[in-house]
A and B are shown apart, each in its own frame.
Chain A
Amino acid sequence: MKYLKYIVLSLSLSLTGCDFMDCDESSDYTKEDIWSSYNRTKQMVTNLYGCLPSDFGRVNGAMLDAATDDAVHVYESNNIQRILDGTWSANNLVDDVWGELYDAIRSANLYLADTKDIDFKEWENSDEYEAVMQEFNNSSYEVRFLRAFFYFELIKRYQNVPLIEKVLTVKEANNVKPSSYLEVATFIMNECTEVAEQLPVNYSGFVSKETGRITKGAALALKARVALYAASPLINTSNDKEAWKIAAKAAYELIGNVGTLGYKFNKYESLFTADNNKNSEVILCCPVGETGEFEKANFPMGVEGGKTSTCPTQNLMEAYETNKGEVFDWENPEMRKDPYSNRDPRMKKTIVVNNSVWPNSTVEIWEGGKNGLPLRNATVTGYYLKKYLNPEINFAAGSTVTKKHHNYILFRYAEVLLNYAEAMVNAFGNPDYKDSDLPLSACEAVNMVRARTGVQMPGFPTGMDAKAFETRLRNERRVELAFEGHRFWDMRRWKALEQMNKVYSLKIEKSDDGFVYTKELYATRNFQEKMNFYPISKTELFINDNLKQNAGW
């Protein structure tokens, strides 16, 4: 027993080694695990694609359009109403995506920093090496596009934001300084220019043939949009014509190459179906998978499973011209008598009007009808939403189709043409102006959009006054791109929020000889200048003194 002490000592020492304390059974990956495998490296990019935004009701089920004069969200406690009822503030945020966008930006920065020196050389002798490297080498351009896209999502909301191009440490994050809107916009446009030179027109030459990835067209389209925003009154306060010219040129970079890029118009309604990702007009979309949630939210009350949510307004209904190209005027008794006939065909593809068939039976929006007031949560405006809703979906008992693919369009060709038209008329003050660099006039660009099969609206005449042209162009943009996430931003960059203050609805009564329509003022909004930008969260300002709150908040 005298050696007991030694036995104890040596036993404990031998057991003390690293082994005893090493309990590593981690199930997650380390940095090395990620960048040593091409599949995992590629998955890091997939995650970034997954950060792309969509608006099938992004604010607790409400679309941003419900904060414009295009629609009303039927549920009064929805957070979107804060924008309208004056309770929006730096403590009560709406659509606050600051954090999630910086998350996406960090992921992009991390990818770019960590893959800079990777070549997967150890797989060099593999048969697939070249094909894999083609994808891998392209991925950094995709990532740079995505980062640029996320930055645009930031500045259009928050104006001046920190422009971060590296992976921040915890300490650095609290001391970043904001860059101005224009600095960030310039960064985005430069990035788009650079990556557009590298990105493929499509992915048919790649081994995975993964359509839906970022193409050259997407980069050009983003650049055109950002240039247009930067030239718009909100930012371009001195109305510098050069900014408009830059915007026009950016848009023409795409329009002029549309042959090689392959964008073509199809039927208007085919843009909003389950397979619109294949539509040749779509430049980039965000698929959200098979779902029936958008239908659940927006099918009319009274349709099994429907909950109304988005109610398109009388304002939007009136924005559609007659099929002869005249402005629709409710005060005109002739037009009012049969308001839904002889209209721009896009109207009935966007909104559901009384006594039409939707989704598979006649909707009764009149008072006392099965989809009308006083039924609770029935539409308060007289219309239901149609665009992007899939009428094949049915929630009745026994239905087999309760979900379908939905793909939210981020860029399509029509928008680029409208961007171009707006930039051209502002740059040159003449809707018919064109030259050798920009051989398409504003008027011609709009008319290309109006002339598509199934729409075939009469073209804008030549010789219009620039002011009148722009007014009509803005309306064209409103109806063409309704519920595609544009008006909310367009009215801001045009500094025209107060034009949305009056929201109208339609009261429909059924009588023995048809329907009686009464236009009513539904609500008066109080849009204020400060709302051109979002408030930055007080939580962020509290942490970082360098950040500045936007004016008025």
Chain B
Amino acid sequence: MKKKIKLIIACSLLSSTVFSQTVEYQIEAKKNKIQYGRGISLPSKEATASAATVSAEDLSHKTSIDPSNNLFGLLNGLQVLQNGGTAAWDDGATLMIRGIGSFGAKSPLILVDGFERSINNLTVQEIESVTVLKDAPALALYGMKGSNGVVYIKTKRGSLSESPQIDFSYQFNVASPNRLPKFVDGYTYAKALNEGLFNDGLAARYSQQELDAFRNQSHPDAYPNVDWVDETLRNNSFGDNVNFSIRGGGKIVKYFSQVNYLDNRGLFKPTSQNDGYSTQMKYSKLNVRTNLDIDMGKHTKVQLNMLGNFSEKNAPATSLNNIFNAIYQVPSGAFPLRTQHNIWGGTSVYDNNPVALISGTGTERTQTRTLYADMSLTQGLDFLTQGLSGTLRIAFDDCAAYRDLNSRDFAYESALWNWDANEGVYKKLRNETELQFASGTKAFARHFNLHAQLNYDHQWGKHKLNATTLYTMDKVTYAGRNQTFANLDITGYAHYAYNNRYLVDVSLAGAASSILDPDNRWGFVPSVGLGWVLSEENFAKATWLNLLKLRASWGITAEADYQPNLFKDLYGSGNGFFFKDALTSSSGLKEKQLRIDGLTYEKSNKINVGIDFMGWNKLSVTTDIFYEHRKDILIDGGGRISSVLGINAPKVNKGIVDNKGFEIAANFADKVNNFSYELGAQFSFTRSQIKNMEEVYRPEKYQERTGRRVGQVYGYQVEGIYQNQAEIDNRDVKQKLSEVRPGDLMFKDQNGDKMIDQYDMVAIGYNQLCPEIYFAFNLGAEYKGVGLFAQFQGVGNYSRMLDTRSLYRPLINNNTISEHYYNNRWTPENPTAKYPRLTAEGSANNYNSNSLWLADASFLKLRTLELYYQFPTRLIENLKVVKGARLFARAHDLFSIDKIDVADPESIGVSHPTMTQYTFGFNLRF
């Protein structure tokens, strides 16, 4: 690490400017083209679709292993939620466009250079722009995959230049975990367990003598005190990111080439106890990209794009989930790290010594290779008709992961103290095994795409027409059965502009999906977009007004994302039985699935109205209001089919969900003398409503889901905590969920039937899938090369159920207990406590879906804080080679303001912690 820091300092001394100033870029971007994908892009002034775009500049304030983590709060209408994942390489963000339009959260279609590809194989540095397509005119081009929105990622390409532009950057990352759980020490755990058992009416587990032994640490093998979080996790993880790119081009060939290497050394502490291998979570990835544009004569253009990606993961041989579960579960008083015989500690209950899981299980190395290759050929066909051209694009992507597994069992022993004999009693529970080697394919994917299209561009007088017909084929196969999916689309699209003022987009697509019934596989997807550029009208023309445009669109987009074979009757495994005198098990078969007659795709009616405004060359405002009415959603039909049928009723395309909302984004940028600054803000609100779900009979009106939000949480309303038995006995309402004891939660009797049961659950909070309010604001300022950039992002109307083991569910299932719970638990002496009494047996009364555990998960996070210095040109003029240099320091996710405090509202549950990341680095341009 020291070496790295020296390198940074050394390099930074050399350094100087890279990128043009960010400040005026926002407005510049609006003048650029909006990518609809499918080979169609329109000048943003002419687009009628609702879209948001960010450029490489906007993305350059952060680098992430998974570029989805660069998108927080950048694209209005795209909800990005952070995940802890299982490791630093597995923390890809959850993406949603315009909230929840169907039952459950749906991922948008992610396209890289026009083809469906995963974002996490890219590097931030190779991305030219990211566009979010939100409404019908653009989404109609995506057939059966369009309804959930599209994230269109375009990678950088070459441009005409005299000499190649060479960029080099290096970054060093240090990350520290956010809000690690704090669990109690061994003595407190033992007391808590006794208290829980006492509350359950059971005998204490530890005697006073034993409690003293915990406190004094007199017999640490039998009565230990191990801080497992501290023993397993170090304070920081480290990473590097080195990027080299070269970009340029002449008349014939234009090129962009990039090599990126990044690595990450994870959070585990006990990783170097084995000879020959480390058990750290380590990740490295080498990305090599080349994008070529070749002009083959006057009418023929070829594009060749290729991304090769080699990554390697190193981790302990046991699953990372196991390790984090053990860290969250194992009490500090359960067993020692190692006994005095230098054998891992354990008991017959706990075979998951967290340190041993990291250090003693061996190692797994996974190598993933990905190739994204595509080629497009565009041929001008002016000899047939002026303005006609044809394009053929073919993409072939392949991804495979192989693994080497060196695994073994670690030896562990239990330790007891025999007080009578005054000696330790040790029992070996497992012996160590030799490393066992295994290898194999972990996953693969193969993706083929073909697009063939004819374009017609024509301008006459005040008229402008762009028309396209498009034929696309798409087939993807993943490892495993029933994992091949194919789609076909035939699309016609036309864009017409009159006098730069009146704009019309029309499209009609036919789309087919292999998961639909072969006899009824095609669907039709129409859309219309209208635009009126008011600022071009004479009555509105003004020098300060750069743009004022009204947009409106309507369309019916489609989505078919079901499991395969729903159109077939299927038989599968049923009940078994025992025959013969010497009872022998026989397996049975039964009818498993009734086919869905008339299986169809989801149809989403999308209406959008928007205004784009730009004025004084400084201020831009975009606002949209949308309404989505999605019908034919495939849902469980069982709620309305009698069970006399005798089999699960087939699903039905009868679900209807409405989703509406608005988005507003504003940006202001200005420069006063040497001081330039930029302020930006965006806000979006979405709310879904279930219109039909074939809902089952509900005895109580307030339990009906229809009419409410998708994903609405239901639970009991907590009225307090029972203080004593008399209070339980005297209350005329009886709680039927489990035995009720003093210290248990008291619920509201919603239907007045004097008992608490499932019919007393009411809508509480919001949903846990996607916040209804998503907002961000950022500010940037620069003075003489010194710059500051900060971005805040937050959410509102969002709920999370707090049910993390040990943290909120202590003692049960052999969990430990968090300091947070212990300090807030109910006891007779602490009657105003927040949380119910301790229990070792569990309590269905306390630990269920109720208003105590459902937290308001609103938050405001500082996503990025950046400080940089751009070396002035005069300083580096003399260094003939270097054309620009920049030095920067950044912090990401520095703090979160929220109401949960002991856990990250975006990452509730057992997982790798979310991290605060600090980055130091420089960019050089040659």
Contacts and interface: CB of A to CB of B under 8 A. Distances in A.
Contacts of B390: 4-5, 8
Interface stretch (A23-31, A126-134, A340-348, A428-436): A23-31
A46 B577 contact: yes
A8 B647 CA distance: 48
A46 B576 contact: yes
Given A30-B570, A376-B200, A16 B488 contact: yes
Contact of A77 (B514, B696, B844): B844
Interface in B404-425: none
B486 A21 contact: yes
Contacts, number: 224
B28 interface: no
A539 B697 CA distance: 5
Given A12-B471, A21-B488, A77-B739, A26 B570 contact: yes
B591 to A, nearest CB: 6
A110 B594 CA distance: 13
Contacts of A20: 473, 475, 486, 488
Contact of B581 (A2, A107, A164, A278): A278
B458 interface: no
B577 A1 contact: no
Contacts of B594: 170
Interface residues of A, number: 82
Given A25-B481, A289-B578, A91 B736 contact: no
A310 B827 CA distance: 32
B878 interface: no
Interface stretch (A47-55, A254-262, A353-361, A418-426): A47-55
Contacts of A45: 588
Interface in A91-149: 91-92, 98-99, 102-107, 109-110
Output the residue of A23, A107, A162 with the most chain B CB within 10 A: A23
B514 A21 contact: yes
A47 B642 contact: no
Interface in B636-670: 637, 640-647, 649-650
Contacts of A110: 591
A445 B275 CA distance: 81
A29 B482 contact: no
A43 B643 CA distance: 24
Given A8-B392, A107-B646, A110-B591, A31 B586 contact: no
Nearest to A96: B643
Contact of A44 (B201, B383, B590, B757): B590
Contacts of B644: 102, 162, 164, 168, 173, 176, 540, 544
Contacts of A77: 736-739, 844
Output the residue of A289, A377, A539 with the most chain B CB within 10 A: A539
Contacts of B586: 43, 46
A287 B643 contact: no
B581 A277 contact: yes
Contacts of A208: 579
B589 A47 contact: yes
B9 interface: no
Contacts of B646: 102-107, 109, 164, 167-168, 173
A20 B449 CA distance: 12
Contact of B640 (A9, A76, A92, A543): A543
B574 A170 contact: no
Interface string B467-496: 000010101000001111110100000000
Interface residue tally of chain B, by bracket?
35 or more
A24 B643 CA distance: 30
A424 B696 CA distance: 48
A45 B576 CA distance: 10
Contacts of A174: 640-642
A27 B571 CA distance: 10
Contacts of A33: 571
A173 B699 contact: no
Interface string A66-80: 000000000111000
Nearest to B647: A106
A44 B589 contact: yes
A362 interface: no
Given A103-B647, A174-B642, A287-B577, A47 B755 contact: no
Output the residue of B383, B570, B577 with the most chain A CB within 10 A: B577
Contact of B642 (A43, A46, A173, A538): A173
Output the residue of B587, B645, B647 with the most chain A CB within 10 A: B645
Nearest to A50: B575
A170 B579 contact: no
Interface in B313-351: 348
Contacts of A162: 644
A31 B466 CA distance: 52
Contact of A26 (B200, B201, B348, B482): B482
Interface stretch (A209-217, A331-339, A507-515): A209-217
Nearest to A542: B697
A451 interface: no
A30 B571 CA distance: 6
Interface stretch (B40-48, B181-189, B252-260, B561-569): B561-569
A397 interface: yes
A21 B474 CA distance: 10
A51 B575 CA distance: 7
A47 B514 contact: no
Nearest to B650: A170
A450 to B, nearest CB: 29
Contacts of A98: 643
A211 B571 contact: no
A52 to B, nearest CB: 8
A114 to B, nearest CB: 10
A357 to B, nearest CB: 24
A28 B521 contact: no
Contact of A22 (B202, B514, B643, B736): B514
B755 A287 contact: no
Contact of B645 (A25, A87, A102, A107): A102
Contacts of A544: 642, 644
Contact of A91 (B484, B515, B577, B699): B699
A29 B571 contact: yes
B642 A176 contact: yes
B379 A34 contact: no
A523 interface: no
Nearest to B593: A28
Contacts of A4: 377, 379, 381, 390, 392
A114 B518 CA distance: 26
A15 interface: yes
B440 interface: no
A40 interface: yes
A495 interface: no
B201 A376 contact: yes
A11 interface: yes
A444 to B, nearest CB: 32
A46 B649 contact: no
B638 to A, nearest CB: 10
A540 B485 CA distance: 38
Contact of A30 (B568, B579, B588, B645): B568
B592 interface: yes
Given A1-B299, A28-B593, A107-B591, 18 more contacts: A18-B518, A23-B514, A26-B482, A26-B564, A29-B570, A29-B572, A34-B571, A43-B574, A50-B576, A77-B736, A77-B737, A170-B645, A212-B578, A212-B583, A289-B585, A538-B697, A538-B699, A539-B697
Which 8 pairs, one residue from A and one from B, show the smallest C-beta to C-beta distance?
A50-B575, A106-B646, A47-B588, A47-B574, A376-B201, A173-B645, A46-B588, A287-B578
5 contacts: A2-B381, A21-B512, A23-B514, A40-B589, A543-B697
Interface of A: 1-2, 4-5, 8-9, 11-12, 15-16, 18, 20-31, 33-34, 40, 43-52, 75-77, 87, 91-92, 98-99, 102-107, 109-110, 162, 164, 167-168, 170, 173-174, 176, 208-213, 277-278, 287-289, 376-377, 397, 405, 407, 538-540, 542-544
